[in-house]
Amino acid sequence: MDTEPWMRGTHGELDVLRRAVIHALELAGEDVEKWCGGLSNEEMFARPLGLAPVAFHLRHIARSLDRLLTYAEDRALDQGQLAALRTEIEEGPSPSEVLSEFRAGVTRAKERVRAFAPEHYADARGIGRKRLPTTVGGVLVHCAEHTARHVGQAVTTVKVVRGTVDSLRK
């Protein structure tokens, strides 16, 4: 079995928090390539048992990373980000376009995570319209865990779509 990104000794130039977030994003990318690469249009947009489609999770990851990091950078969302939020669940793009958006979003997120300085982790930030209180460090941790959660949901949906539910029981 291949080692996960956090076990490869990479990104040693970064502090532990940014390194962990980047490793989580790298693992997300590897899992998406393994499980979601090559999905047909039908598989990418299937809604088995009412589950959200794989495409939703992949687009949501890319777009939510953008939104979260915008908040961490102490900026407001722009109209493009708000418009994109409203279309995450819609069908339309091809599977290759969905995967391209995911890849680009994760790549850009890793660049943005690198730009944060550890001395700002405790800086206060507000999230969402209600400006719920958090910190830069809190947002960075949430980027990692939120991404991992949605990758897990996408992988589970792929398994259900492909009829390999029995593999979940092993």
Q: What is the mean pLDDT of residues 162-168?
A: 60
Share of the chain above pLDDT 70, in %: 95
d(CA 168, CA 126): 38
Nearest CA to 25 out of 134, 116, 142, 127 is that of: 142
What is the token pair recorded at 153? 């949901």
CA angle at 121 for the pair 118 and 127, rounded to the nearest 5°? 145
**Cβ atoms of 154 and 32 closer than 8 Å:** yes
Write out pLDDT tens, residues 90-140.
888 999 999 999 999 999 999 999 999 999 999 999 999 899 999 999 999
Q: Which amino acid is at 65?
A: L
pLDDT tier at 164 (50, 70, 90 boundaries)? low
d(CA 101, CA 57): 11
Q: How does DSSP classify residue 14?
A: S
Q: Which domains does the chain have, with CATH numbers?
A: 29-133+150-164 (1.20.120.450)
Write out pLDDT tens, residues 63-92.
999 999 999 999 999 999 999 999 998 888
**Cβ atoms of 136 and 122 closer than 8 Å:** yes
Complete DSSP assignment for 55-92? HHHHHHHHHHHHHHHHHHTT----HHHHHHHTTTT---
Show Cβ contacts of residue 134 under 8 Å, excluding neighbours closer than 6 positions. Answer: 124, 125, 126, 127, 142
- Predicted confidence at residue 90, as pLDDT, reads 86
Between strands 132-135 and 124-127, the pairing is antiparallel
d(CA 48, CA 2): 30
Look up tokens 């777009």; give the residue.
63
d(CA 135, CA 125): 5
